[in-house]
């Protein structure tokens, strides 16, 4: 067996990026292209996956995706089928601009739920603080997440102090950068790693960012750790999940729910519910909206 769990005949590798029928994989300190076979066991493969390879003189073949330690999933299609975006990361940093595009806490909540359900530690990075913005509203949003133990950093990607704080948060781990288009994920990736990624402009028509990053890619951070720069989105749908799973994505609601009078309380305003007053109204409203969306 090799140290990662593969064998000499089927070595283990890290998926750096997936693009169509091929993947860039890292093995023994080198990156190379590998072929993805349809319906690979454990797959389909995504960035961050550990996989087994069948060696080939020209192009190795991914023959198995190994079990995932963590996963960020989104809901795909009308039925919101779970679709993996990134595997085996440690931290999900939801990047949001305080202006241009405007701050949207509902998207932050959906990403944080997806991260919590997928076993990821959550954090928020608020960017573009050098632009005119409502500092009181930004302060209220930041306080809401800090109150439940989610780290919140604020600054701009041109500020070395902000970049250093994000690097300290990553702390040698693998971190996913996710959020709306145009909020500065690619600029932050470049500042953290020194690797150039496409950086686009903000769409003047709808004030949302244009997509600049397509396939998620694992990029090492000098000094240790890595970031995965994901494609910007205009919306992020959660996969279908039952009430108990959704509740687990709101740790403060799950903790308060232990005091509810009735087992299986939906926290919809029923008599004997212990949640209202114990959590922020905004987070409870977010939970109720997501629960209604699951029905």
In tens, the pLDDT along 223-250 reads 999 999 998 887 899 999 999 999 999 9
Overall average pLDDT of the 178-194 stretch: 93
Q: Which SS3 state, helix, strand or coil, does residue 259 take?
A: helix
- Rounded-to-integer distance, Cα 223 and Cα 242, Å: 41
Per-residue pLDDT tens digits for 253-280? 999 999 999 888 889 877 899 999 999 9
Domain range enclosing 99 = 71-229
Could you report the per-residue pLDDT of 7-64, keeping only the tens digit for each? 656 899 999 999 989 999 999 889 999 999 889 999 899 999 999 999 888 889 999 9
Q: What are phi and psi of 138, to 5 degrees?
A: -60, -40
Separation CA 26–CA 44 (nearest Å): 17
CB 184 within 8 A of CB 128: yes
| Tokens coding 120 | 């990821």
% pLDDT > 70, the chain? 91
Helix (H, G, I), strand (E, B) or coil at 189: helix
Q: Do residues 107 and 156 both lie within one domain? A: yes
The span from the CA of 112 to the CA of 105, in Å, is: 10
Total number of domains constituting the chain: 3
Mean pLDDT, residues 169-186? 95
Contact (CB, 8 A) for 167 and 192: yes
Q: Examine the pLDDT at 204 and tell me if it is beyond 60.
A: no
**Are residues 181 and 265 located together in one domain of the fold?**
no
With a pLDDT cut of 90, the percent of the chain lying above it is 77
Would you say residue 235 lies in a domain?
no
19, 141: one domain: no
Residue 189 in any domain: the answer is: yes
End of a domain among 186, 202, 229? 229
- How far is residue 22 CA from its own chain's centroid? 23
Under 8 Å CB-to-CB from 69, ≥6 apart: which residues? 87, 88, 119
Specify the 3-state DSSP secondary structure of 126.
strand
53 and 75 fall within a common domain: no
Query: How large is the average pLDDT for residues 159-171?
Result: 97
Query: Based on the domain organization, do 76 and 20 belong to the same domain?
Result: no
pLDDT value at residue 280: 96
The 3-state DSSP class for residue 193 equals helix
Q: What is the CATH number of the domain that holds 281?
A: 1.10.40.50
The answer on 57 and 107 residing in a single domain is no
Residues 187 and 147 in one domain: yes
Question: 182 and 285 share a domain?
Answer: no
Q: Find the DSSP H helices in the chain.
A: 105-117, 135-146, 160-170, 185-193, 243-248, 251-256, 281-294
How do residues 133-151 score in pLDDT, each as one tens digit? 999 999 999 999 999 999 9
The pLDDT assigned to 209 comes to 40
Last residue of a domain, one of 38, 65, 92: 65
Q: What DSSP string runs through 21-37? A: TEEEEEETTEEEEEEEP
Report pTM.
Answer: 0.90
Query: Is residue 288 domain-shared with residue 157, that is, in the same domain?
Result: no
205 exposure class (CB count in 10 Å sphere: 0-12, 13-18, 19+): exposed
pLDDT confidence of residue 271 = 84
pLDDT for the residue 57: 80
Q: Are residues 41 and 151 in the same domain?
A: no
**Cis amide bond preceding 249, omega within 30:** no
pLDDT of residue 199: 43
* Backbone CA torsion sign across 59, 65, 70, 75: positive
Say whether both 259 and 199 belong to one domain: no
- Looking at residue 198, its pLDDT comes to 46
Q: Point out the least confidently predicted range of 42-51, 75-84, 114-123, 161-170.
A: 75-84
How does the average pLDDT of the chain come out, rounded? 90
């Amino acid at each position: 067996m090799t140290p990662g769990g593969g064998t000499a005949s089927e070595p283990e590798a890290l998926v750096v990026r997936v693009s169509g029928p091929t993947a860039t994989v890292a093995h023994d300190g080198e990156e190379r292209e590998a072929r993805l076979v349809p319906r690979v066991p454990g797959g389909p493969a995504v960035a961050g996956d550990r996989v087994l390879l069948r060696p080939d003189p020209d192009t190795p073949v991914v023959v198995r995706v190994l079990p995932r330690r963590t996963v960020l999933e989104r809901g795909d299609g009308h039925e919101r089928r779970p679709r993996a975006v990134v595997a085996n990361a440690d931290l999900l940093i939801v990047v949001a601009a305080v202006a241009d595009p405007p701050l949207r806490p509902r998207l932050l909540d959906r990403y944080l739920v997806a991260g919590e359900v997928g076993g990821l530690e959550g954090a928020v990075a608020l960017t573009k603080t050098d632009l005119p913005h409502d500092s009181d509203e930004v302060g209220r949003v930041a306080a809401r997440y800090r109150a439940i133990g989610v780290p919140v950093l604020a600054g701009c990607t041109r500020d070395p102090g902000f970049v250093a704080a994000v690097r300290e948060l990553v702390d040698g781990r693998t971190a996913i950068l996710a959020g709306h288009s145009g909020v500065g994920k690619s600029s932050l990736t470049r500042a953290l790693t020194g690797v150039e990624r496409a950086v686009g402009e903000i769409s003047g028509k709808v004030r949302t960012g244009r997509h600049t990053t397509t396939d998620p890619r694992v990029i090492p951070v000098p000094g240790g750790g890595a970031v995965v720069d994901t494609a910007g989105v205009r919306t992020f749908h959660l996969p279908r999940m039952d009430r108990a799973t959704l509740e687990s994505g709101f740790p403060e609601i799950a903790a308060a729910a232990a005091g509810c009078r009735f087992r299986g309380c939906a926290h919809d305003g029923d008599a004997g519910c212990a949640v209202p007053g114990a959590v922020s109204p905004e987070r409870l409203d977010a939970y109720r909206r997501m629960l209604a969306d699951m029905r």
